[in-house]
Structure 1
Amino acid sequence: MYAILFSLLVCLSTCHCLNEKDEETEDHCVLLTQVLDNSAVSMEIRKTGFHRELETTVELSMDVPSGVRVLLVHRWPRNVFVDPFQLASLSEHSNWQILLDSAIDLEEPAHKTSGFVTYVYPAPDAPTTPRLFKVTVPFHGRYHEPSFVGETFTSVEIIPPELLLRTEKCSQPSSSESHAVVDAPCTPDNSSTCQWVKLQHQQEHSPVVFQLPVGDGSLVMPVCAGSLLVTVICCVALSKYMWKHRII
């Protein structure tokens, strides 16, 4: 009799603990969706020329509780690249870390490469503003094929990043009409994949647009002909000088 009562008490206690754990998990999952709602992501390009910086600012709708991770997924066009060695040096002294989805060839021209993805893991901009995140990522323009229609510049568009959130206490978030669950690397070490929550239809923001110079294709033949002519003239002049002064 006592054994039966003891087993019943253990069972009720276990069920109560599981219910509390499920409720806590559900509360944290709901919290993620509440933080995402009305959060804002903005971008600004700094510097000019082929070497620029993309400053991304994230302002969440409420303070981020302890344990909540923020992830920015940037989808870059093929017109630009980031330098992995430069990023590794910067991340050691910055409040963010970054992961690349593929190897980056620093020398390839734009028409021979493709776009890439970066995963940026930021920390709050300051302890006093836990809902504000700022990340400045340096990037560089690639060289383009010369234009044969008289264009001297080409436009490059960089779209806003996706904002993702997760917490260890919400291990299995559920999708809804307003929020989606996506897989992404848990940490910059890329050792495992976790489920992150993002807005199903994030607020539309216009991409930032800037221009890069391109060569004039109509000048290819004149430049080649001029280079060949100068080379021939220099060879003839050098040959005459060597013949005159008996230089062998």
Structure 2
Amino acid sequence: MAARAVTLRAVAWLLLWQVAGLTRTPPTACPSDSTDAGIRATCSDIILRQEVLKDGFHRDLLIKVKFGESIEDFQTCRLLIKQYIPTGLFVDPYELASLRERNVTEAVMVSENFNIEAPDYLSKESEVLIYARQDSQCIDCFQAFLPVHYRYHRPHSKDGETFIVVNNPDLLMYCDQARSRGVIRCRFDSFGKTIEFPILKCWAQSKVAAPCALKNKDICQWNNMKYKSVHKNVTLQVPVGLTIHTSLVCSVTLLITILCSALILGAVLRYGHLSL
């Protein structure tokens, strides 16, 4: 009887410990029954801002992303920006290669058969993948840099300018679950119950296949993230010629070409030695 009483007492203590959460073991996988309301309460907005730097026909597109949570919460996560380049702009792939070699930016062209010499009306929209880097001045911020250039546009009949609209990009996030070991994708509440990683739970919309890294040919399934943009889009103003000036421009260009050709020919005849 004494042994049975001791056994019952031990079982009772174990049950009490489990209820109190003293013997819990954090699970390694996120459960699927966590409520959206509880998750969204812990998730802050993702803010994206696009800026265009410099003047003239050669600009720099700067994209900044700010998370409301500390970057330590997703230190094994990466951020990829899929930027759509309108027909009025182009990105020089040779310039991107040079910038990658100098470690200035991590961007690569997605579009094939890309012609940087084509005018606006003969070109197509292109895509660029930019692997964002953490901002040294902001612990929970990323930024990406991309040089863009204006294309040639058709002359207008009345207005001497046109506008290029740069739409907001796609924001992709990938978290390495193998490295995170349940910390990045999951969190634990005060009772030991796991909840999914708030950023992905709140704002991930769909899966997008893209290279895992710039120098890696492996394909990862990135999360297409929903965000709030400071500006709806970026609008660039481009000066263009007027059709009423066509005759004047062609005449002046022809005269200058004839004059320069005559001067070159005169210099060759005077100082050069021609041999037939």
1:36-86 deviation line (CA, Å, top 9, x unaligned): 850111011111111111111111121232210111111110100111222
1:101-130 deviation line (CA, Å, top 9, x unaligned): 12432211111111111111122122x744
Unaligned runs of 5+ in 2: 1-25, 35-39, 180-195, 263-276
Between the aligned partners of 1:26 and 1:130, the Cα distance in structure 2 is 32
Would you say how many aligned residue pairs link Structure 1 and Structure 2?
Answer: 215
Unaligned runs of 5+ in 1: 1-18, 28-32, 237-248
Between the aligned partners of 2:54 and 2:208, the Cα distance in structure 1 is 34
RMSD: 4.0
- 8 Å CA contact 1:95–1:125 kept in 2: the answer is no
Larger Rg: 2
Q: Aligned partner of 1:89: which letter?
A: S
Q: Aligned pair in 2 of structure 1 residues 157, 56: CA closer, same or farther (>3 Å)?
A: same
Specify the alignment match of 1:55 in structure 2: 62
Q: Aligned pair in 2 of structure 1 residues 23, 231: CA closer, same or farther (>3 Å)?
A: closer
Between the aligned partners of 2:49 and 2:42, the Cα distance in structure 1 is 17
- 8 Å CA contact 1:45–1:53 kept in 2: the answer is yes
Q: TM-score, normalised by structure 1?
A: 0.70
Specify the alignment match of 1:86 in structure 2: 95
Specify the alignment match of 1:182 in structure 2: 208
Between the aligned partners of 1:44 and 1:231, the Cα distance in structure 2 is 41
Q: 1:122 aligns with which of 119, 132, 148?
A: 132
Q: Aligned partner of 1:111: which letter?
A: Y
Between the aligned partners of 1:206 and 1:197, the Cα distance in structure 2 is 22
**By how many angstroms is 1:166 displaced?**
0.8
Secondary structure in structure 2 of the residue aligned to 1:22: coil
**By how many angstroms is 1:193 displaced?**
2.6
Q: TM-score, normalised by structure 2?
A: 0.64
Between the aligned partners of 2:28 and 2:245, the Cα distance in structure 1 is 71
- 8 Å CA contact 1:165–1:198 kept in 2: the answer is yes
**By how many angstroms is 1:162 displaced?**
1.7
Specify the alignment match of 2:228 in structure 1: 203
Matches within 5 A, 1:1-248: 20-23=27-30, 37-64=44-71, 65-94=74-103, 96-103=105-112, 104-126=114-136, 129-147=138-156, 149-169=157-177, 179-189=205-215, 191-200=217-226, 202-204=227-229, 205-225=231-251
Q: Aligned pair in 2 of structure 1 residues 110, 235: CA closer, same or farther (>3 Å)?
A: closer
Between the aligned partners of 1:26 and 1:90, the Cα distance in structure 2 is 46
1:155-176 deviation line (CA, Å, top 9, x unaligned): 01111222111112189x9999
